[in-house]
């Protein structure tokens, strides 16, 4: 694929993925860059749901783009471009999982070779950059959630990523994973339950530490009470 700066990026922002694909087919580098940026997060999450390793998931995403952009002629537009990319990423990730677990991977993932071709867990956003303490707290909570997702059984983890994190519909998720919609609903229900139990387990140990009133704060309260009592005793 020979690339060229065919059109200014500002002129491409309002185009759909499918329209950008047409520009990319003509060698538009900026169109390729935009398509990559728009699809990075989903592909990374999907790949990581399978391999559970950041570096390998990133490598899978890169391979997915290389494969897709060198074979754009095979994209017929029967599905969304993002859906087509996701299938390529899934195939790449599952292929690597097969090499590591040749006898167990397909049974555990319950995704056949036929795969080819909710609410989001979010934190409040603000125009004002968060303070260091707030950012640390968000990072700690994110780490707990990511660990809980990683510990989900393979079939549940993929469904949870696609449905609750990527907000794909039940039908699209079923199509991506070659499952029945009813199976997707069942696995999502169980994944949510396992997530809730994992998060509760992580935080239950700290419940007794909620609303602390000790240290200097406690000392200051004692000082204020004693001071008021002394004032009452004065004639």
Helix axes 17-25, 81-100, angle to 10 degrees: 80
Find the distance separating the first CA and the last CA of the chain, reported in whole Å: 94
The CATH architecture one would assign to domain 1-117 is Orthogonal Bundle (1.10)
SS3 129: coil
CATH 1.10.10.10 location in the chain = 121-235
Q: Is the pLDDT of residue 110 over 70?
A: no
The CATH architecture one would assign to domain 121-235 is Orthogonal Bundle (1.10)
CATH 1.10.1740.10 location in the chain = 1-117
Quick one: pLDDT band at residue 189, thresholds 50, 70, 90?
very high
What is the rounded CA–CA span in Å between residue 188 and residue 183?
8
Provide the 10 A C-beta neighbour count for residue 53: 14
Output the pLDDT for position 1: 56
Quick one: pLDDT band at residue 104, thresholds 50, 70, 90?
very low
Quick one: pLDDT band at residue 121, thresholds 50, 70, 90?
very low
What is the rounded CA–CA span in Å between residue 105 and residue 95?
9
126/8: higher pLDDT: 8
The per-residue pLDDT for range 13-66, each reduced to its tens digit, is 889 999 999 998 888 888 889 999 999 999 999 999 999 899 999 999 999 999
Q: Is the pLDDT of residue 129 over 60?
A: no
Q: Is the pLDDT of residue 222 over 70?
A: yes
Copy the structure tokens of residue 181.
Answer: 């919609």
The answer to whether the CB of 24 falls within 8 A of the CB of 72 is yes
């Amino acid at each position: 694929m020979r690339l060229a700066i065919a059109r200014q990026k500002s002129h491409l922002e309002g185009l759909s993925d499918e329209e950008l694909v047409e520009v990319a087919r003509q060698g538009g580098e900026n169109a390729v860059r935009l398509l990559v940026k728009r699809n990075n997060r989903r592909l990374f999450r999907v790949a990581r749901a399978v391999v559970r390793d950041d570096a390998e998931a990133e490598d899978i995403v890169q391979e997915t783009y290389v494969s897709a952009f060198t074979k754009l002629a095979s994209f017929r537009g029967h599905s969304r471009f993002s859906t087509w990319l996701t299938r390529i990423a899934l195939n790449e990730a599952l292929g690597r999982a097969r090499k590591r677990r040749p006898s167990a991977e397909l049974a555990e993932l319950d995704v056949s070779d036929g795969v080819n071709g909710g609410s989001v867990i979010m934190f409040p956003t603000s125009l004002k950059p968060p303070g260091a303490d707030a950012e640390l707290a968000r990072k700690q909570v994110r780490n707990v959630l990511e660990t809980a997702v990683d510990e989900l059984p393979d079939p549940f983890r993929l469904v949870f990523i696609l449905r609750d994190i990527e907000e794909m519909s039940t039908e699209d998720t079923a199509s991506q994973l070659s499952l029945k919609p009813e199976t997707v609903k069942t696995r999502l229900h169980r994944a949510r339950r396992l997530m809730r139990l994992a998060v509760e387990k992580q935080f239950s140990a700290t419940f007794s530490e909620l609303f602390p009133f000790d240290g200097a704060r406690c000392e200051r309260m004692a000082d204020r009470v004693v001071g008021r009592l002394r004032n009452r005793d004065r004639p």
